Amino acid sequence: MTDLRTPPVNDGDLFSERARQYALEKPLQRIHILEAGCGWGTGLDLGGRECDVTGVDMESPELRAYTCERPDLDTWHLGDLRTVPLPPRAFDIVHATYLIERVPHAELVLDRFVAALKPGGLLLVHMRDRDTAFGFLDRTLPRWLRASGRRRRPRPGRPPVADRRGRARGAHARVPYPVGADGAGPAGAEQAPAGEPPPVPAAREPEGAGPAPAAAAPRPVPVIRTSPPPAVYDRVASLAGMRWYCVMRGLVIAEEYTSRQSLDALPRFGAGTGLADLLCRLVSAAGRGRLTADHSEVTFVIRKPENRFARVI
């Protein structure tokens, strides 16, 4: 039986480490990653290993604006996750962070992710647990009381990601641009902003001339301060729900962890002072322990068996 543990590192580091381990098992294979929830979280760090990253998420102005800023995505699609194009058995890793609890028909969406995963591939899931005191408060409190305003930042020290042509996506790639007042982004990820001139190669310095002027620094990627997307909390978006789903679909839960990261989503109740934790424990006590206050989120490292007819013991 899979042990329930508290992770020694955050889920981003854990998922990146498991992705690197998987890549080491496939030394001659290009790794294909499905970034499910690309409009909110950060991607995986494979340590410079060549990979193709496809992003999918729901459609909204905020999610589209952030997706357009990400330099690590090769392609992306926003819309109904039940209909976005996902070829079968095309991805080695499906990375879904803060997605399962905020999509309707989450079980159908998970079925599409599993179908798009190669045999032996990894499904990396991090989500808020609906069967907790925090999940209850997140479903019932007004939006203005539970908005966290967390900043989304690129991974510190992460090297530029090389695209299919072998060029680093830096100053000469599509330059991120400020988002308009309505938060809308471009119609697609592969198109540059309208009217943007192509990069001009620097002229050769003539002999005897002084030093060339310093090149202008590329425009920084704007950081959008928003709250996490609202959660729907289907039945599968819980610790017990994911265990049931994996058993029914023949998936193997390799690792399973709990954490309390989302308790800072209640700043109006004094996050960091213990008041949010006290509120969750009061809710748990009022429900006679049916809603736990010991954690708010769960993390799963799930592997799809090589043989779909194999029985999971």
Query: pTM to 2 decimals?
Result: 0.72
For the residues of 248-306, what is the DSSP string, one character each? HHT-EEEEEEEE-GGGGG-GGG-TTTTHHHHHHHHHHHHTTTSSBSS-SEEEEEEE--S
Residue 106 in contact with residue 236, Cβ under 8 Å? yes
pLDDT for residue 107: 96
The domains found in the chain, sorted by start residue, are: 4-129+150-190+217-265 (3.40.50)
The residue with greater pLDDT, 185 or 99, is 99
Confidence of residue 273 (pLDDT cuts 50, 70, 90): low
Residue 135 in contact with residue 296, Cβ under 8 Å? yes
Query: Is residue 166 predicted with pLDDT exceeding 90?
Result: no
Reduce the DSSP state of residue 80 to 3 states and report it: coil
Share of the chain above pLDDT 70, in %: 63
Calpha distance 6→9 (Å, rounded): 9
pLDDT for residue 143: 66
The mean pLDDT value of the chain amounts to: 75
